Amino acid sequence: MKIAPKRFLSPIVLPFSPVGQKKRIAIIPGDGIGKEVIPEAVKVIAAAGAEVETAQFDWGADRYLADGITVPPDGFAMLERDFDAILVGAFGDPRVKTNIHAKEILLGMRFKMDLYANVRPVRLLDAALCPLKGIEPKDVDFAVIRENTEGVYTDAGGVFKQGTPDEIAVQEDINTRKGVERIIRFAFEYCERHTKIDGSPRNRVLMCDKSNAMTYAGGLWQRVFREVGGEHPQIKSEHMYVDALCMQMVRDPRPFDVIVTNNMFGDIITDLAAGLQGGLGMAASGNIHPGKTSMFEPVHGSAPLIAGKNIANPFGAILTAAMMLRHLGFDGQTDRIEAAVLEAVRQKKTTQDVGGALGTREAGEWVAKKISHG
């Protein structure tokens, strides 16, 4: 099945969709390897037989360079109004030096649609993928809940006397009571509702900060964490400074269960965590606001160095699609996708970055066939 890129809204009903209430998914492949991995994810969604309609959008560098449009007028409102979920590839293109389109589309979606919880499950599918000695899949099974709408990513600040020896640059770290409280609540609720891969309950939430140095923001996070933790006595509240956490993650990731942290620390530690899973090509994420249209994207970026060569690993995007389907209530389809990816990894039916010899399309095709034919 092939989906032709269309401008603006152009629904494409997937041929496998029978009757019934269909969920609607907006597909935005974006730039670079996003344009290669997202079609594989779409193929796999079709193979899994989820009742969905998809519409593809050409937002990205090509579109921006052609007509100067990053997000069409009413774009975000349209996504919220007309779709149940959004599947995004990646944004970033060396031809757009300012990266303005990536900022406006990706950060725009996160901020304007208020997708405040960035959820990144960290799971090791096969011991061979982990760079740490003696670590088994059961040892790497945690989730990072990253605040997604505040912190140092709000573009608050400025420069003064730029380009002179007296230059001053200020980058504000924004932390609101509302923002901190809702992400911490989300983490506790996530912990209550999710089990580990082996079916055992999650029961610990660890807040990661740098409150010994960043005392004002850290103080707010600490107070709110104590308050909200007090409402969940059955869940153990834990704390680590971000520097200590980084060291722990590469020495022994076993103690982690659910980690909640701010925007910047979450950005950094989830790349580190992706390293435990086999690299950026394996990592999935969701940008969630409960009850609203949420957006799902692989953790990797557009990777211009490897784009267009059919070598990018599509599994991060495929696992992202699976995460999206689970969010939409398609548990059976999600289980089938996750099982097929696990089997692909075990049989080394993968791209080279995780030890196989297949191309992007061939790896995606293998997973889709595994789902369809068993």
- The separation between the first and the last C-alpha atoms of the chain, rounded to the nearest angstrom, is 19
Is 93 labeled as catalytic in the residue annotation? no
Q: What is the DSSP string of 226-248?
A: HHHHHT-TTSEEEEEEHHHHHHH
Single out the catalytic residue among 43, 93, 116, 153.
Answer: 153
Let me know if 153 is a catalytic residue: yes
Task: Give min distance, CB of 310 to ligand ATP, in A.
Answer: 11
Q: How far is it, in rounded angstroms, from Cα 49 to Cα 334? A: 10
Q: Cα torsion at 43, 272, 122, 230 (round to 10°)? A: -140
Size of site (CB under 6 A) for ligand ATP:
17
Q: Which of 22, 103, 138, 210 is catalytic?
A: 210
DSSP-derived 3-state class of residue 134: coil
Region near ligand ATP per CB under 6 A, out of 9-17, 177-185, 234-242, 294-302 = 294-302
- Contact flags string 31-50 toward ligand ATP, x per CB under 6 A: --x---x-------------
| Sheet with strand 204-209: strands edge to edge | 11-13, 52-56, 23-30, 85-90, 294-298, 284-288, 117-123, 141-147, 258-261, 204-209, 236-241
CB 59 within 8 A of CB 30: yes
Which whole-number Å values give the CA distances from 184 to 87, 187, 203, 207, 288, in the listed order?
Answer: 25, 5, 14, 8, 14
* Region from 18-26, 48-56, 184-192, 308-316 binding ligand ATP, contact rule CB under 6 A: 308-316
267 classed as catalytic = yes
Catalytic residue among 271, 335, 353, 369: 271
- Rule CB under 6 A: say whether 313 interacts with ligand ATP: yes
Closest listed residue to residue 82, CA positions, set 30, 28, 23: 23
Q: Which of 109, 114, 62, 119 is nearest to 86 (CA)?
A: 109
Q: Can you tell me which of 129, 303, 319, 341 binds ligand ATP, judged by CB under 6 A?
A: 303
Q: Is 306 in the site for ligand ATP (CB under 6 A)?
A: yes
Residue 30, beta-bridge partner list: 90
How does strand 157-160 pair with strand 168-171? Answer: antiparallel
Interacting residues with ligand ATP between 54 and 113 (CB under 6 A) = 90, 92
Question: Measured from the CB atom, is 289 or 300 closer to ligand ATP?
Answer: 300
Return the residue nearest ligand ATP (CB atom).
301
List 270, 293, 302, 333, residue binding ligand ATP (CB under 6 A): 302
Confirm or reject binding of residue 356 to ligand ATP (CB under 6 A): no
Residue in 35, 146, 202, 300 binding ligand ATP, rule: CB under 6 A: 300
Which region, judged by CB under 6 A, interacts with ligand ATP, from 67-75, 196-204, 298-306, 328-336? 298-306
Residue 90 near residue 301 (C-beta atoms within 8 A): yes
Work out whether 316 is an interface residue with ligand ATP (CB under 6 A). Answer: yes
The minimum distance between CB 154 and ligand ATP, in angstroms, equals 19
List of residues contacting ligand ATP (CB under 6 A): 33, 37, 90, 92, 280-281, 300-306, 312-313, 316, 353
Catalytically active residues are 153, 210, 243, 267, 271
